Amino acid sequence: MISTYTMKSLNKESVLAMVRENNVHFIRLQFIDILGSPKNIVIPAQGLQSALDEGVPFDASSIAGYATIEESDKIAKPDPASFVILPETVEERKTAKLNCDIYEPNGKRFEGDVKYILEKMVDKAAKLGYVYNTGPECEFFLFKKNGEDSTIVPNDTAGYFDLSHRDLAEGVRADISLALEAVGIQPYTAHHECADGQQEINFHYADAISTADRVITLKYITKVIATKHNLHASFMPKPLFGQCGSGMHTHQSLFTFDGSNAFFDPSDKNQLSPVAYQFIAGLLKYIKDLSCVLNQTVNSYKRLVPGYEAPTYISWANRNRSALIRIPSKRGNGTRCELRNPDVACNPYLAFSVMLAAGLRGIEDKLEAPAPVEKNIYALSEEERQKYGIEQLPESLGHAIAVMSKSDLVRETLGDHVFENLIHVKRKEWDTYRLQVTKWEVETYLPLL
């Protein structure tokens, strides 16, 4: 199989040869807007050489956060190393995919290209001597298609890790996993999650840019395969009232160029290095600033409430799953920190960028991590949380926008273009939401008032 992630030596000549040898008909040239939605330009295979040589010009004025009408011309340049042939289970016609870097007509890289933002942060880590690896846990729901009926009905009522007649999605997960393998993404677990119709598929960790590519590909493949099973796959953080929502717990680590895990120190009581503690301290200090990027929708904050295994309080722990940051038990090269508030509705390129920025700032400023909290934080009283110095994540998108708008760290990381556009888009979303009169309000207040 052709893999984006294992065949980095692919170049223009080898890609053109594989297109000919495999009788590929169409090429999807893909890039991502600031909200994390994949965009693509489909070209016939005979136009690929021109695209690789010169790029493909396009009008970016209708793409979220890209450009105004006055400055809409952009150029998508395919990256040969990202070439994959999509399996027949995903594309009926022989189709390949290439990820694109976005340029201005003058040849400069476009500042609104979210992959470029992550590339710059990864380069910063490299200058400090580190490779930044991420491994997300991607959760999603499968719902039955109900035609014109807007009621959402989960595909099944199975529970966590169920192996029974109630788990009706085993075949769907298998088909998704096989399709991922066909494009070079190696899943290592797939199972039913806690809520009705909720699933999780995990793949092996990699450098942050490769991982962000994989998240986008997984979401695309999952939706296509679900449709073929007459189901709708949703990465909405909290689609069902009273049940757990879908997160994207992200495992992070820094490796040195000799292949050593920079977070591991066998002499420490927690077997964590000073770099690990400083990275954790940076995440804890700036997590409120990052929330609008990691949890970018109105619905995201309906997941981040006590009682549903989602973090709401800012702390870290070794095994305590009520903490925002957890340190899984594996050590050596498996040493990592798990940030538990991101959800899969985020833009993974921007999410990894700001997470890395916060961690590196902790290292640069030699921040000290507070003591771990190994208690069930949800069971603590407000006075007890104050005693431990535990603060709370933003409780709404509006709150998160207000915090991020004052953040020098996030502005510096995203750049003025994406920072200002993201705030503009999110404020518009928040204003639209808060002006709604919901069914719950009508049913609750109309009879009483």
The residues annotated with a catalytic role in the active site are 59, 137, 139, 193, 200, 249, 321, 338, 340
Distance CA 385, CA 375 (A): 11
Task: State the Cα–Cα distance between residues 95 and 74, nearest whole angstrom.
Answer: 24
How far apart are alpha carbons 192 and 48 in whole angstroms?
A: 40
CA nearest to 342, candidates 359, 325, 361, 358: 325
* Nearest-angstrom CA–CA distance, 136 and 290: 17
d(CA 175, CA 162): 18
Helical H runs in 103-184? 114-127, 170-182
Helix intervals (H) in 78-169: 114-127
SS3 (DSSP) at 353: helix
> What are the strands, taking DSSP E only, across 94-215?
95-103, 130-144, 153-154, 187-192, 198-203, 206-207
Strand partners, 138: 201
Q: Both tokens of residue 258?
A: 């000799």
The helix/strand/coil state of 286 is helix
Tokens 């199989």 belong to 1
Q: Is 109 exposed, middle or buried (0-12, 13-18, 19+ CB in 10 A)?
A: middle
